[in-house]
Structure 1
Amino acid sequence: MAKLTRITTQKKNKNRYNIFLDHGNGEEYSFSVDEDVLVKFRLQKNMELDKPTIEQMIQTDTVHKSFTLALNYLSYRMRSEKEIRDYLKDKEVEEDHIEEVIRRLHEQNLLDDQEFANSLVRTRVMTSSKGPLLVKKELIEKGVAARQAEEALQFFPFDKQVEKALKSAQKKMKSDRRKSWKQQIQNLQQTLMQKGYQNDVIQEVLANLPKDEQEEDTEWQAVVYQGEKLLRKFQSKYEGYELKQKVKTGLYRKGFTFDLIDLFMDEYLTEEDA
């Protein structure tokens, strides 16, 4: 048995207390506990403490510190259970203590993967250009079950997907305006797929692109821009028929129609070049 001889408040943390014990050889510092542990065990001067009780207090305090770590981690934003577990493992918390912390968090309604998933989907809808497939992938990487991730996607309805995808499409089309309409569409489809949108959304976006994107003048400006680049690239190496074929092939690969290519060739390649 040991006698509790003194309890002092820590200078840097007023919610923690130093416990001094006398095991028969005089007073000495033994361990420290949080205020909650102090109250739970009703610690006071001159108490007699046996070894199992001391060990229980120390373990209770260790779990409490781990729980406080988790609460602090949760204070910045909602977390999935996997995120909490990974965080505590990184902090070298013992496995059985992690289980106790997780149990308490669930018990106090501070940990709920479904609500976490719902919240993350709502946030991504408001703040990112990600489509539902990428959002679902993110949820699963954070440890959310596939069925919970799928349920959370109800907060990302079809009309909202089309709205966000259309904004991304218009931005992409604007940056690709010097490319052929065919190539723009191909690039756009690839971009939207990479952002996590499915084919039904992509087709709806294509059907709703502003019609002035397809104006003949825009396509003509694009073929002139790409054609002049090809001319500068090949004129130092080729001439005559070979030059003409290199430019025509290059423009065809870039998605321009034969009629538009022929028009460019007629206007921009002189008889001397050809």
Structure 2
Amino acid sequence: MDNTESLITAVERHPRRNGRYLIYLDGQHALTVYEEVLIKHRLLKGERVEADKLRRVLEDEEQQRAWSDALKHVGRRPRSEKEVRQFLKRKEYTEPLIDRIIQRLKEQRYLDDADFAALWTEQRIYSQKKGSRWVKQELQQKGVAPATIQEALDQVRPDEEERICFELGLKKWKLTSGTSQDKRRKTAGFLMRRGYSASIVGKAIRRIIEEAADEDERSEDSELWEWPEE
């Protein structure tokens, strides 16, 4: 066992990073630690640090750094468990440490795939006007379990998705030039690419055609109207 000891000769606040401290051993800057690690291991000026304790300090420091990185990552926007794991792997943390961080995030409710899937689905369908197929594919890519995805999609009322698809398609129809057949093909393709199912797109196209026909009829009636003679 290595019984080498070092003397903490100075402890200074980091000049640019809040909550971090510079630790000097035997007159040389040796490491930078989080305040939590500083307090846990009583890293005070004048204390002697054995090699074994220094190793534990470094392990706790890495864990605290991983925790801080993970919190920043989930703080930017909701994340799936797979996304956080991939992020921590890119930071080159070990698998056992990543497992501990993931478990801690779950325990403190920073990470929950069910909540994530529900929020993601609501934002995509109502704000970005994407179809269920699009949302399902995205959540699959983010590693969310099939049952969890289905549970989130089940919260979307079919008539609501049909309404959104119809309104989106109607706007596209009005902006599309060409024959009625051209407009039908282009509008249907547009809606399919946004992730709406064939059945929902079919209903939307039929409603759009009816709407367009009604508008044309109203327009013709207006043109045929004659003002009565005085």
- The TM-score bracket by the shorter chain reads 0.7 to 0.9
The yes-or-no answer on 1:20 pairing with 2:19 is: no
CA 216–33 in structure 1, closer or farther in 2 if over 3 Å, else same: closer
Aligned residue in 1 for 2:174: 174
**Alpha carbons of structure 1 residues 168 and 2: separation in structure 2 relative to 1, 3 Å:** same
- Give the drift of 1:80: 0.9
Q: SS in structure 2 opposite 1:3?
A: strand
Gap runs ≥5 in structure 2? 218-230
Q: Give the 3 Å change call, closer, same or farther, for CA 178–56 of structure 1 in structure 2.
A: same
Q: Does 1:141 align with 2:141?
A: yes
Aligned residue number for residue 47 of structure 2: 47
Q: CA deviation at 1:161?
A: 0.8
Q: Distance in 2 between matches of 1:210 and 1:108?
A: 52
Aligned pair count reads 213
Q: Relative to structure 1, is the Cα distance of residues 2 and 123 closer, same or farther in structure 2, using a 3 angstrom cutoff? A: same
The alpha-carbon distance between structure 1 residues 78 and 212, as it changes in their structure 2 partners (threshold 3 A), is closer
SS in 2 for 1:155: coil
Which residue of the other structure, out of 9, 14, 25, is the alignment partner of 1:10? Answer: 14
Partner of 1:59: 59
The verdict on how the C-alpha distance between 1:43 and 1:208 changes in structure 2, with shifts beyond 3 A counting, is same
TM-score normalised by structure 1 residue count:
0.70
1:61, distance to aligned residue in structure 2 (A): 0.7
Q: Is the counterpart of residue 115 in structure 1 residue 107 in structure 2?
A: no
Q: Distance in 2 between matches of 1:139 and 1:2?
A: 51
Which digits, 9 at most, give the CA deviation of each residue in 1:223-260, with x for residues without a partner?
xxxxxxxxxxxxxxxxxxxxxxxxxxxxxxxxxxxxxx
* TM-score, normalised by the number of residues in structure 2: 0.83
Q: 1:86 matched to which residue of 2?
A: 86
Residue identity matched to 2:154? Q
What per-residue deviation string (whole Å, max 9, x for no partner) do you get for residues 75-123 of structure 1?
Answer: 2211111111222222333333322221221121101111001000111
Residue number in structure 1 paired with 2:163? 163
Specify the alignment match of 1:126 in structure 2.
126
Q: Does 1:195 align with 2:194?
A: yes
1:238 corresponds in structure 2 to none
Q: Which amino acid aligns with 1:21?
A: L
CA RMSD of aligned residues (A): 2.2
Larger radius of gyration: 1
SS of 1:8 mapped into structure 2: strand
Q: Indicate the SS of the match to 1:209.
A: helix
The Cα shift of 1:213 comes to: 1.8
In structure 2, give the amino acid aligned to 1:50: E
- Deviation, 1:177, is 4.4
Unaligned runs of 5+ in 1: 219-274
The whole-number CA distance in structure 2 between the counterparts of 1:211 and 1:12 is 65
SS at 2:150 equivalent: helix
CA–CA separation in structure 2 for the residues paired with 1:211 and 1:80? 42
Aligned mates of 1:150, 1:66 — CA distance in 2 = 32
Letter in 2 for 1:188: T
Give the Å deviation of 1:129. 2.4
Say whether residues 1:214 and 2:218 are aligned partners.
Answer: no
Letter in 2 for 1:182: Q
Cα drift, residue 45 of structure 1: 2.6
| Residue 152 of structure 1: how far off its partner (Å) | 0.7
